[in-house]
Amino acid sequence: MWISFLLALIPIIWLIYSLAIRKMPAIKACSIGLLITIVLAILGFNLSIVDTLTGALEGILMGLWPIVYVIVAALFTYNVSNYSGGIKIIQDTLSSITIDQRILVLIIAWGFGGFLEAIAGFGTAVAIPAGILIGFGLNPINAAVICLIANTTPTAFGAIGLPVITLSDVTNLPVTPLSFVITLQLALLIIIIPFLLVILTGGGVKAIKGVGLITLMSGLSFSIPQILVAKFVGPELPAIVGSICCILTTVLMAKLYHHQDNDIKENIEKHSAIEILRASSPFILVFVFVVLASSLFPNIQHLLGKVTSYIKVYTGKDTELFKINWLSSPGTLILLATFIGGLIQKVSFKKLGQILKSTIFGLWKTLITICSIVALAKVMGYAGMTSAIAAALVVLMGPIYPLVAPLIGALGTFITGSDTSANVLFGNLQLSSAKALGVNSNWVVGSNMVGATAGKMISPQSIAVASAAIGQDGSESIILKQVAKWCLLYLGIICIFLYAWC
C-alpha cells in the first residue's frame, strides 16, 4: 500500500514543484504531468495501455466539454459587453453606489461571483467578475486571487446544488439533512472570507476600517439565508438565495452607511434605466436561461436534456458513457444569452462572430492546460492512484481521521478541479471511515465537501481559468503562490473547527 501511496503522490508533487517552485508555464507543467501520470498508471498501477490512453482521452473531452466551452462562453459575454460599452455603463451604475474598491469587491467577487457559481459554475464565477474588477482599476493578479478566494464556499452548492446532490447520491445519505450540515460547517468561513477579500483589496488589515459592518453583513446575509434554505427546502437554492441576499444587503448598507463625496458622484456619468437594462441584458439573460434550464423547472430541463449525445470513450470496466448536453450545458445557455444580449446592445451578428472567434483563439493555451489537467485526473482515478492516497491517509491518522477528512476533499478538488468529482472520488471513503470510528456520518461526509471548497482555489484548472480571465499568459505560478498561503489558512480553520465539533 505504501509503495502505491508514494507513486501516486508523484504527479501531485510534480504539479506543485513545477508550478509553484520552478514557475513553469502551466501549459508545459500540466502536459508533462499528464505524461508522467500515464507512465505511472501503466508501469506502477498495471492499468492497460488502451485503458490508460482512453481514460486520458475521456479527460481531454471533458476538459473541452463543458469546462473550456463554458470559459469561452463566459469570456465572450465579457468581451461583447466591453465592446458594446455595456461594461462601462455597469461600472458607472455601481460607481454611483460606491467607488470604494473594498465594497465593489464584496458586491462583484463575493456576491455576484457567488451567484454565478450558484447558477452556472464551471469557471464563470472567476472569469466574469475578474474582468469586471480589472475594469474598476484592480491589479489583474490581485483581481484573479480575490476571485479565486471568493469562489470557495459558494462552490458547495454551485450549479444548482450539483456537488451536494452528487455526494448524497454516492453515499445514500438523505440530501436535505446533509445539505443543512454542510451549510453549518461553512458558516464560519462565509463570515471570514469577506474580511479576507477586503484585506487583500486594501493591502492590509487596516483596510477593514470603515467597512467592518458592511463586511460582516455581507457574510451574514449570505450564510443565514443559505442555512435556512438548506434546512427547509434542499440543496438546489441555498447559494442562489444566499448570494442574492448578500448583493442586496451589501448594496443597501453601502447606500445607507458608506457615503461618498458629492463631487465624486457628480463626476460619474448618469444613465437611464433603459440604458442600464440594455447594458445588463447579457447577464440578465444568462441568469434567466440557466435558471429555466435547471432542476427548478423539470419540464424544461427534461426537454432540453433530450438533445444529448452519449459516447463510450473509456474502455475499462464499470465506466459511464461520456455525455454531451448540447442544449442544457451552461456554455450553450451563456452563448445564446450573449448573442441575444449583444443584438439588444446593437452589436451586429457579424461582429459578434468576430468577437467569439478572437475569444476562442485567445484561449488556446488555456485549452491545452485544462485538457491536460482533467486528463491527468481521469487517469489517476481510473488507475487507483487517487484512492491509494486517500486510503493511506485513513490508515495513518486512525482515530483522529476526522481532523484530516477535509484534506482528502481538498486533495480531490486539487486533482480534478471539481467539487462534484471530489465527492464522487471520496464520498464513500469518508462514509466508511465515519462508520468505523462511530462518529456522525453527515458531519464527516460533509467535511469532504467543505474541504473540496478549499482545494478549488489552488486547483491548476482554476488557476488556468483565472490566468485566462485576466489575459496574462504565464501568470499561473504567481497566482498559485499568492493563493496557496490563504488556502493553507482556510484548510487550517476548517480542520480545527470541524474536528472540534465532530
Same domain, 209 and 116: yes
Identify whether the C-beta of residue 364 lies closer than 8 Å to the C-beta of residue 382.
Answer: no
Give tens-digit pLDDT for 163-192.
Answer: 898 888 878 899 999 999 999 999 999 999
356 vs 318, higher pLDDT:
356
Query: What count of Cα atoms within 13 Å lies in the side-chain half-sphere of residue 310?
Result: 5
322 vs 216, higher pLDDT:
216
pLDDT at 141: 95
**221 located within any domain:** yes
Same domain, 459 and 430: yes
Torsion of CA 458, 75, 331, 182, to 10 degrees: 30
**266 located within any domain:** no
pLDDT at 42: 97
Dihedral sign for Cα atoms in the order 324, 329, 333, 338: negative
Same domain, 352 and 378: no
Q: How much is the average pLDDT of 59-77?
A: 83
Same domain, 435 and 468: yes
Q: How many domains does the chain have?
A: 3
**56 located within any domain:** no
Same domain, 119 and 205: yes
Q: How much is the average pLDDT of 196-216?
A: 95
pLDDT at 443: 95
Same domain, 89 and 128: no
Q: Which of 352-361, 369-378, 453-462 has the lowest mean pLDDT?
A: 369-378
pLDDT at 195: 98
pLDDT at 267: 63
pLDDT at 260: 60
pLDDT at 150: 97
Q: How much is the average pLDDT of 405-427?
A: 84
**317 located within any domain:** yes
- For residue 156, CA distances in Å to 141, 241, 421, 438, 451 come to 25, 14, 12, 25, 10
Q: Which of 182, 101, 89, 195 is nearest to 149 (CA)?
A: 195
Same domain, 315 and 175: no
**pLDDT tier at 261, thresholds 50, 70, 90:** low
**51 located within any domain:** no
Q: Which residue is listed with cell 434605466?
A: 273
Start-end of H helices in 203-237: 212-232
Cα–Cα distance between 200 and 179 in angstroms, integer?
Answer: 30
Same domain, 113 and 17: no
Same domain, 389 and 492: yes
pLDDT at 68: 82
Query: Per-residue DSSP letters for 40-88?
Result: HHHHTS---HHHHHHHHHHHHHHIIIIIIHHHHHHHHHHHHHHHHTHHH
End residue of a domain, out of 233, 259, 285: 259
pLDDT at 264: 53
**pLDDT tier at 345, thresholds 50, 70, 90:** very high
**pLDDT tier at 194, thresholds 50, 70, 90:** very high
pLDDT at 475: 86
Q: Which of 79-83, 101-105, 203-207, 365-369 has the lowest mean pLDDT?
A: 365-369
End residue of a domain, out of 361, 386, 408: 361
**pLDDT tier at 159, thresholds 50, 70, 90:** confident
Residue 346's domain comprises 65-97+271-361
> Is the pLDDT reported for residue 258 higher than 80?
no
**pLDDT tier at 262, thresholds 50, 70, 90:** low
Q: How much is the average pLDDT of 154-159?
A: 89
CA 231 to chain centre: 23
**300 located within any domain:** yes
**60 located within any domain:** no
Give tens-digit pLDDT for 456-487.
Answer: 999 888 998 898 888 887 788 899 999 999 99
**pLDDT tier at 219, thresholds 50, 70, 90:** very high
**pLDDT tier at 158, thresholds 50, 70, 90:** confident
Same domain, 8 and 92: no
- For residue 236, CA distances in Å to 155, 283, 314 come to 12, 20, 31
Give me the chain's average pLDDT, please: 88
Report the helix count and the strand count for the chain, using DSSP H and E. 25, 2
> Is the pLDDT reported for residue 318 higher than 80?
no
What share of the chain in percent tops pLDDT 70? 97
Q: Which residue is listed with cell 450545458?
A: 329
End residue of a domain, out of 225, 259, 293: 259
**52 located within any domain:** no
pLDDT at 235: 87
Same domain, 88 and 105: no
Amino acid making up residue 239:
A
Same domain, 255 and 325: no
pLDDT at 265: 56
